[in-house]
Structures are given as structure tokens and as C-alpha cells.
Amino acid sequence: MGKVYYISKNVGLGLLILAACALATIIALSIAYHKEKAKNRGKPGNEETGSSVLPSPTAAAVPKDPWDRYRLPDSIVPVAYNVTLWPRLEVNADGLYIFTGHSEVVINCVKETDLILIHSNKLNLSTFDGHHARLRGLTHATAPAIKKTWFVVATEYLVVQLSRRLSVGASYVLETVFQGELADDLEGFYRSEYIEEGVKKIVATSQMQATYARKAFPCFDEPAMKAVFNVSILHDRDKTALSNSRESGKGDFIFEGRAVRATTFEPTERMSTYLLAFIVSDFDYLQSNQLNHLSVRIWARKKAIADKQGDYALSVTGKILQFYEHYYNVKYPLSKSDQIALPDFNAGAMENWGLITYRETALLYDPLLSSTGNKERVVTVISHELAHMWFGNLVTMQWWNDLWLNEGFASYVEYLGADYAEPTWDIKDQIILYDVHKVFAVDALASSHPLSRREEEVNDPAQISEMFNTISYSKGAAVLRMLSGFLSEPVFSKGLSSYLKTFAFSNTVYTDLWDHLQQAVESTPGVDIPHTVHDIMHRWTLQMGFPVVTIDTRTGRVTQKHFLLDPESVVERPSQFNYTWFVPIKWMKNGVAQQQYWLLRKSDTHSPMRVSGVSWVLANTNVSGYFRVNYDNDNWNRLLSLLNTNHQTFSVINRAQIIDDAFNLARAKIIDTTLALRTTKYLSMERDYIPWESALRNLNYYILMFDRTEVYGALQAYLRKQILPLFEYFKMITANWNTIPSGHTEQYNQVNAIGIACSMGVASCKELTKSWFRQWMENPEHSPIHPNLKSTVYCVAIAFGGVEEWEFAWGMFKNATVAAEASRLRSAMACTKVPWLLNRYLEYTLDPTKIRKQDATSTIQYIAQNVVGLPLAWNFVRARWSYIFEQYGKGSFSFANLVSGITRRFSTEFELQELKKFKEDNLQVGFGSATLALEQAIEKTTANIKWVTDNKAQVLKWFSENS
């Protein structure tokens, strides 16, 4: 943490005068609040002291003093804030960028108390008569005198001890004046920097989720503590200020000898602190008039806007908003939708209500330099964030233990919104690869956790950050997709609409959603489910993991069992359902869809699934359910025979599923490894992306386990044989690589064909990519490489090149003006096989003048993916763990990926012992949001060791015989 300095009285008084004009608004809001409370008394979900609004205290053993607990007490609720902020975009005399501010919050007392706990972190507060805050009563209330104030660092509180108790039903105003550092730490109110036309520019911007609003101003920083926010921002006159709501006015004046502008904003809707946003910049914008009732703008660096990098985002935003208004049957809740691309931003994007912030790669698309993949990322991330405007922002989870409801829902419907915007892409199919198969890998571990954790399991900021994981996002998406599938989309959206209308501007727990979906079921004739929505879904949300369903087609017997990647691992977390699920099984027989079947117990017999001869059964069609499927050997052989003779009998999704299920069942020792490998034999005939991608992801596990052993040569030879027909196919349809395939996923598969062919040693592929890269080096202004192929070509050329290629890429990276291009180069430079270059690159990652802080941990991961870079990255991280953790690890959502990324290849006893020693040596430093990832890395490494020991010989034999 940087040094902090006390604010001068003059600055404090100036801010007080500026803020005074908004007090009338606060008082009016307070009166409106009381009227609304009286009006809503008795309505479900509107009780101000009920479970839908206030956070409940944790049930676990708690410290004796309230300020030592991470959860706020339930004695006070905020009603409205008046916040004025002044970020300084030049360093002060002490070499620091700072901001100053003033806040008044109207609070309502709902239980007698002589304590006010309000979050405040890394803020220096001015004093009033020796206290860090000032309290006064509203209307007829008389405020008690402040007895004492102090800070609690661990729980991030300002504690205000009063001389007597506050009166129940009375309202008060708590006032603070403060200063903070506008640091480059990507948290709270922070600064972002970039160079434009040789000039360094500074942006003041914010990231409040999950617990960083308290770093911008003192506030009740929990999602259920919703309030109305009146925001004013002071800034230089050549800059623009943005916040969540529309601008309501501007005023220019001279303050402390500076020409300053004050921008004020309309009062927000009732909202959570984590959704606030404040930005000051000299960015430009594009505006759309697609939606008459709504202002839609895309903001970015002036050059990015001039180069039309915001045009695509603007073109899809209106379509997606219209889709969600229809899907939810609820009008967009705000009067504007601003989206802004930031040079420095830790997450991919953040759904601040009315002012969504993005990494540049997630919002900007250059029509000349960006790839199809970049375009898809833009539309899916926009779709994800806009989904939150209703689900998450309008209606918000009560506490972070139910984060999955926000993120899982947005991760599911992002595909629906993107599909509406780009209907020819078949984007809905990709949820199988990017979410379902992805999360299966994590949820099959004994160290997984349920979607919805108990409140007492999620308390401190590190535990909250840890919830932003694959389970919350991807498992949430998978089970909600399954739920929508067995209820039907119309029933699902009917329940959603009712839920959103009932709890608008309030907070909920996940069972509130089940209530409204159940009501939709009961009010829709012909919808038949075997149990209530609650009873079915509790088994998917309150216990971790998922089942493997085994169908014996000789008898029709169907069984389920908790699927574990390591069958010898011990599951220590108990389940009230004994790890059984209510499983909706969509299935087909001989290519004909059958009536859905529900498996409601551990074992059952379903006689229609009994077949013989050449007849076959395929279950979980289009992977509609969140489970894996195993069969008797006879049925497996029939499915593999069909793959080899007529693979298009199965949909592309089911071809991918057969491969993915087989490989993972083999890893779990449920079927033989050679059976899994046999699912790849037909690939020489496969031309579709999703099955190929599924196969390559599974074969990548074999590459990671064996690329340091003698098995790798045989594996390379086999994959080279399988990929060559695909490589030649794309060479033919692109007229010897001169055009690009027309289909969206075909373009992705062309990338696969070139990437695998080159890495598996196809000579013509290596020559092709090296030639393209050399031409670019000779004429940097005109690259012959299509944007779709750049990531692959850059990596291959740098891997087979040397210092000259690396230094050229570094030069192009430093001068890149398109974020997607910079990202490709940053990844590709990790592909070099030259150890000293990799070591130097690792050093660069911790130098923000070379690699942005937002990109540091992902760059280390890229280096670790390189078989030469792995030991270098591992040594680097161990040697600098304390620094890396302090700078990047305490709250970063992506920090867990650093641990899981570096340890992916670990498969020896020596590596396991090193991992355990690393844990032991750094217990004092801590692991923050990577704590669970470290436990899972140890579990995965243990499983890898066993798997390699058991399978190495037969895998070598199989690849040798089949190549």
C-alpha cells in the first residue's frame, strides 16, 4: 500500500459546500423510502427487515465483538448516499496520484444499537472534533454524540461508537471526508494509463466487485445493503466524467487555483455498492439511436473510436437489449447503457449498472485486424454483461454464497443473446465446449464444492473472490440450461419474468427463483415433472459433483454414481442426498428420439433401453443434462462402429460428447483407456469443429502427461496421421491458403488444422507459417497473415525461430494499437524454446511498464504452458510468491488460474512433493483466492501420478500400433 496523507481543511470545506446542494435530494429520498416502506408493508419480498433485504448474521462461531465479524450487523440499513469525488490525474508533490471525496449516507435504524459499522479500506479520513465521521438526525430525530471512532484493518471497518442508542425507525446522516490513493492496483477507484500519439494519458476508473467500493468511499459494502446514490465528480474541464446514471448538470469554477468542472448525475435506482462506477477520461464515444427510449454509447480511446473499433459492439448492443426485454418480459430498467473499453482492467468485464466496463479485447473489434474469435468474444461478453442488467442488478443475490445464481445465469443466457445477434453462427452449441465440458473437469474432483455454499462458508474478501470460479459460472450455466430444457424455454422464461417483477430492486436467495419457476410449472397445462423444482434442483445445487449414468443395454438397467476423476479420492464433504440426483435423461434409439426418462434413484430398470443385435442407444442427446454416460461394452462397440462408418448419424454435439465421456471415464478407471483412444480413430474423416475441439482438449491431457517422455514421439506420429486429412481439406477449400472458409466454426477448425499439423511436425505446415512470418518481418506494415490465423502462426514461428523472431514480436507488441493484436503477440512470445528469453520474459511480467498488471498472471501461465517454460515459470513463482501474492493475489478473481495453470503438467512424485512444500513454505504469506486452486492442484497431481503409472505402457503401445 502506498503512503497516505491527511486531507487539508480547505479541501474538506470545499467538498462540503459542493455536496450541500444534494442534501435536499437525500432528505426527499429518505421520506420517499419511509412512504414506500409503509406502502409495501406485508408484501412478500419487500420487508425492510426481512430475509429478502437484509443480510443475516453468520451461524458459525463468531468473534465476541461485532467489528471482528466480516458481516455487517442487521441494525442499520442505508437509504441513500451523496458522494462527491475528485480524482487528480497528475501526481502530487509526494509523487502520488490521489483522489479526495465527501460522502453523506442516510441510514435508517431498524434495531436499537449504539454502534455504526461502515466499511472503509485504505482511505484516510479527516476528523470532525477528533472523530472520523459526523452524525446528525433527520426530520425529528436527534443524533447521539459520537463517543469514539476507530478502524479495524482485518474486517475493513470504520467503527463509530455512540454515547447512546439510535432510535428504531429514525433516520440519520453519517458524513465522512476522505482521501485515497488513485493507485494502479485495478481495485476500487484506480488509475489506468496508456500512450496516445506519444503522450501518456491517465484515466480514473473503478472496479467495485466484490469488496472494493469501500476503497472508494466509506459505505455499507454488502450486496443486500442497496441504496440510491447521488454522485458528483470533480474533474479537469477537458475531461469527461461518467457514472451509472445520466448526467444531470455541469458547473465550472476555480478551486484551489484550478479550473475545475463538477459533473452531477441523476439519482441511481436502488442498487448494490458493487455495481457502482466512476470514470474520468478524455475518451470519445459512438452513439446509437436504435432504441428510442434509451441512450446507447460505446466509449474508448479516441484512436480506437476513430479506427471504428467500437462499431461492432454498438451494432449488437441494441439487438441484445431488445432480445432480453422480450426474453424477461421486463423493460430495460435504466435510461442509458454506456459501455467503456479500458486499457487496464483485471476482469474480462464488469456489469456496473448503466456503465459496463470492459477490457479492450472484450469490447473492441477492428474490422481489419481482429479475428473471428475476437468478434465472438465481443458479442458473447456483451451478451453476458447485458444479461446482468436484469438478473443480478435489478434483482441481486442476498449474499456472495449464491453468486452462482448471478454468474451461472448470465453464462447460460449469454449464448441466447449472442445467438439472437449472430443467428448464423450456431453459437448455442458451443456451451458444451466452453462451459459443460470445462466444468466437468473441476466438478469431478473430491475438493469441488456445491453451487450454493452455506453463508458461513463465505465471509472474508478472499473467500468471496474464490467464489468467482468455474463452478459458479460454468456449472451454474450447465444446470440452468438443463432446468430450462426439462421445463421448456417458455415456462422457464415465464418464471423468470415473474421472479424479476416480484423482486425488482431487492435481494433474493436461490429458492426464490425455484418458487417462481414452480408457479410457472403449475400454471402451465401439460408440463409434467416428477418432483417440485425445489426438490429436483436442490440435488444439483446443494451437493457438489455430478453423476455418471450407466446404461446396460443388455438388461435395460440404469444406475447412477457420483463421478470422481480419481476413484480412490476421499470425499470428505457430506451430502444430505447421499450423492444421488434426479436425472432427466433425453435419449435416442437407433437414431430416433425417445420419450424423456427420469432416473430418480440409484438404480432402476427402463426396459425400452434394452436392445440387441445392431440396435444401439445414445443417452443425454445434445448434452441436455449435466452428467456423463457409460454403457455396456456391446453398446460402446456399436457406437464406435457407427462413428467409423457413418459418424454423421450423431449430431456434432453428441460426437463431441462420446469422445469427452469416453476419455474421462477412462481416466476414472470406469472403462479401458484403449476404448477412449478408439473414439479418435474416425477423426481422419471428421471436418466439424466441435468434435475435433473435444478430441484435441482430451488428447491435450495426454500431451501434458507425456511430452517429457518417450510416449510423445508415438503420440505425435498418430496425431500427425489423423490431422493431415483435415489440413489438406482446408488447403483445398481455401485455394492453397489464399481465402478463409465461409462458416463460422469452419474458420475455427482451420486454426486447429494448422496449429496441430505444425506442432505435430507436418513439414509443409512449418514451412508455410515460417514463410508468412518472415514476409511480415520484412514488411511490418503489411502482414500476409489473416487475423484468424495470427495466434497460431505467431506461436509456431517464434517456437521454431530464435532471438530475431522474438525481438520482432516484442517490438510489434509495444507498438500495437489494437488490444486483440497485442494479446496475440503477448501469448505467442511465450512459445519460444530459448530459455534465457523465457526467463527475461518472466521478469518482464512483474514490470508494469512492460506488461500491464492486468496481464501479468496470464503471461506467466502462457510461459508455463510451454514445456521448456514450465520449470522456469514454477521456479519464478516460488521464488517471488510473497511479492506476486501481495501485488496480484489478495482479491483478484483470476489469481486461482495462476496456480492451476502452472501445475497442469505435474505428474511426478517429485513435483507433488515440491507442490506440498510450496504450500507449507507459504502458509504465513497465504494463497488468497487461490487457496482452493492449490488444494485442487495437489489432488490433480496425485491423480495424474496414478494415471501415468497405470496407463503409460498401454498408451505407448496403442499409439505405436495405430500410427
CA-to-CA separations, 951 to 179, 672, 706, 717, 956, in angstroms, rounded: 61, 10, 11, 19, 9
Helix (H, G, I), strand (E, B) or coil at 499: helix
Q: How far apart are CA 652 and CA 647, in angstroms?
A: 9
Q: Say if residues 398 and 507 touch (Cβ distance below 8 Å).
A: yes
Q: How far apart are CA 575 and CA 15, in angstroms?
A: 55
In this structure, what DSSP letter does residue 435 have? Answer: I
Helix (H, G, I), strand (E, B) or coil at 519: helix
* Partner residues linked to 356 by β-bridges: 339
In this structure, what DSSP letter does residue 156 have? Answer: T
Nearest C-alpha neighbor of 838 from the set 784, 802, 889: 802
Q: How far apart are CA 194 and CA 202, in angstroms?
A: 7
CA-to-CA separations, 474 to 320, 351, 433, 470, 542, in angstroms, rounded: 21, 18, 10, 5, 16
Phi then psi for residue 41, to 5 deg, are -60, 130
Q: How far apart are CA 956 and CA 898, in angstroms?
A: 31
- The amino acid present at 929, given as its one-letter code, is S
Q: How far apart are CA 576 and CA 579, in angstroms?
A: 8
Phi then psi for residue 560, to 5 deg, are -130, 150
961 is annotated as an active-site residue: no
Q: Say if residues 697 and 684 touch (Cβ distance below 8 Å).
A: no
Q: Say if residues 414 and 384 touch (Cβ distance below 8 Å).
A: yes
Q: Say if residues 628 and 546 touch (Cβ distance below 8 Å).
A: yes
Cell of 813: 507488441
Q: How far apart are CA 51 and CA 55, in angstroms?
A: 7
Which ranges constitute the DSSP H helices of 816-930?
Answer: 819-828, 835-845, 856-865, 869-879, 881-884, 895-902, 909-921
Cell of 338: 454506456
Pairing of β 123-125 and β 171-181: antiparallel
Helix (H, G, I), strand (E, B) or coil at 124: strand
DSSP letters along 245-314, please? S-EEEEEEEEETTEEEEEEEEPPPPSB-GGG--EEEE--EEEEE-SSTT-EEEEEE-HHHHHTTTTHHHH
Run of H or E residues at 508: strand 506-508
304: cis peptide before it, omega within 30°?
A: no
Residue 521 Cα to chain centre, angstroms: 31
306 burial level (CB within 10 Å; 0-12, 13-18, 19+): exposed
Q: How many helices (H) and strands (E) does the chain have?
A: 32, 31
Q: Say if residues 374 and 381 touch (Cβ distance below 8 Å).
A: no
CA-to-CA separations, 663 to 334, 349, 474, 701, 937, in angstroms, rounded: 48, 34, 20, 10, 20
Question: How many Cα neighbours within 13 Å face the side chain of 900?
Answer: 17
Q: Which of 187, 222, 385, 805 is catalytic?
A: 385
Q: Say if residues 772 and 793 touch (Cβ distance below 8 Å).
A: yes
Run of H or E residues at 604: strand 603-605
Helix (H, G, I), strand (E, B) or coil at 358: strand
Q: Say if residues 475 and 451 touch (Cβ distance below 8 Å).
A: yes
Q: Say if residues 285 and 305 touch (Cβ distance below 8 Å).
A: yes
Helix (H, G, I), strand (E, B) or coil at 788: helix
Phi then psi for residue 872, to 5 deg, are -70, -45
**What is the set of active-site residues?**
385
